[in-house]
Amino acid sequence: MPSSDMHNYDRDELFIDGQWVRPASTAAIEVIDPATEHVIGRVPAGSVEDVDAAVAAARRAFDPLIGIGERYERLTRVIEAMEKRLPAIAETITREMGAPIRIAQSVQTQVPLAVARGFAEALRTFEFEERIGNSMVLREPYGVVGAITPWNYPLYQVVAKVLPAIAAGCTVVLKPSNEAPLSVFEFVEALQAAELPPGVVNLVSGPGRVIGERLSEHPDVDFVSFTGSTGVGSRVGELAGKTIKKVALELGGKSANVILDGADLATAVKVGVGSAFLNGGQTCMAWTRMLVPQAHYGEALDLVEAAVSKYPVGDPWDPSTRIGPSASQSQYESVVGFIERARRDGSRLLLGGPEKIRDIGYYVAPTVFADVDPESELGQEEVFGPVLAVIPFTDTEDALRIANGTPYGLSGAVWAADDAAAIAFARAVQTGQLDINGGKYNPAAPFGGYKKSGIGRELGRIGFEEYLQVKSLQLPA
């Protein structure tokens, strides 16, 4: 385990108007290592006054006529500065939210780098003007952005909001999660090293009910981008609606891994278990429902058991660990509650369970339930932990009914005998993104949800466009 002396985990300043400043209050939020249950650092518990100062700085820094060349230079400097700090940021992510170091050094940091480069390419190739008949259609920066990010992928979620905002010419006030804010402070230090003009990006940590609510309702914030729970997202939308500002919401999911007759069952199960348990199941796009043909159900359960045996739980600093602790005590308690209720509701516990598996740390055993009623809580609601529900179906129509039978529609997968059959099924699935027969992740593809999984899209050119607004100039003949 690296020494904490290499990092500054006792933060007592916010980043506003290009400099680190003392907040209005001395109140602080403790950051707890979920593997040891020890306090490892603190960040300021900001106030409404801090948000107002940060928004004022962002408003002063916003130039609606900023050139594309200047945006591109800012973006490339940020990417270069961030890349230099990724090894240190990976260590901080492991320490603050328990991601195994192998995940922190790959998915948690290298995916954000790929996403950042995708935004640079989107900016480089984007057409900001087009002619439609006698009109010139312009795409201009949206303005001041309030970015509210969660704890499960702290760097990725920040990059997915701050980088397209910079590329679009917007300015940002960023609110990180309370559970995993330290890596975000290190990211902002990279922005400082990139020498962005004062006020382009500002950082205010603190309670969601204070910082998040003020950003959502602030009359000088033009656009709020939020990632988190559906309940909080609804509140963000409610507050933002009072000032008629744009909102993008990336919310919960209960994604289905649909394995149709004729598919490569062994591969589909193996990949599906990996998706369900990635990052300890703390992934909004995790395939947490595995739908299997009734005729192959027993074989699928055997394959699930074999796959889960290769996911050891343990010390996140051990390179062999694939599942670390839940990110916080409250998250651990929530996951255990889901497991206990699922067992009472009649689902058959195949592996794992709610029992404590280590004396210290918020560890949950990888848990699999069979014979899950699609209408039960486990079949409907996001657990956000290492819990997989395996559900049999009778035919393709039944599989589609189950896949579409939740309030969510964020992600998922379809496996079939050939791509054409999988794509035909996928067209009827009400979700924002689907992997077809193991298609690989594409950081340039738009990501977002149907139904209660959200509004708007992130990543790539389409995610970049969220930060632009459209103006039409009707020209004389």
Residue 102 identity (one-letter amino acid) = R
Amino acid at site 246: K
Residue 291's beta-bridge partner residues? Answer: 258, 391
The CA-atom distances, in angstroms, between 283 and each of 239, 268, 425 are 26, 19, 24
**Residue 431 structure tokens:** 């979700």
Distance of CA 222 to the CA centre of its chain: 22
User: How far apart, in whole angstroms, are the C-alpha atoms of residue 192 and residue 180?
Assistant: 20
Element housing 259 (H / E) = strand 256-259
Q: Alpha-carbon torsion 438, 442, 445, 451, what sign?
A: positive
DSSP 3-state of 88: helix
Residue from 475, 441, 471 nearest 156 by CA: 441
Answer yes or no: are the C-beta atoms of 361 and 384 closer than 8 Å. Answer: no
Residue of 91, 217, 250, 382 marked active site: 250
Q: Which residues contact 180 (CB under 8 A, 6 or more apart)?
A: 31, 93, 96, 97, 151, 152, 154, 327
Collapsed DSSP state (helix, strand, coil) of residue 28: strand
Strands 387-393 and 408-409, by their bridges, are unpaired
Please tell me the distance from the alpha carbon of residue 278 to that of residue 103, in angstroms, as a whole number. Answer: 8
Contact by Cβ (8 Å): 223, 246: yes
Do residues 175 and 148 make contact, with C-beta atoms less than 8 angstroms apart?
Answer: yes
> What's the one-letter identity of residue 103?
I
**Calpha distance 72→412 (Å, rounded):** 34
User: HSE (CB half, 13 Å, CA atoms) of 316?
Assistant: 30
End-to-end CA distance of the chain: 70
Please give the angle made by the CA atoms of 345, 348 and 353, to the nearest 5 degrees: 90
List 95's β-bridge partners, or say none: none
Q: Verify whether residue 129 is a known catalytic residue.
A: no
- How far apart (Å, rounded) are the C-alpha atoms in residues 289 and 68? 44
Neighbours of 9 (CB within 10 A): 20
CA dihedral 67, 69, 74, 76 (to 10 degrees): 150
Residues marked active site are found at 250
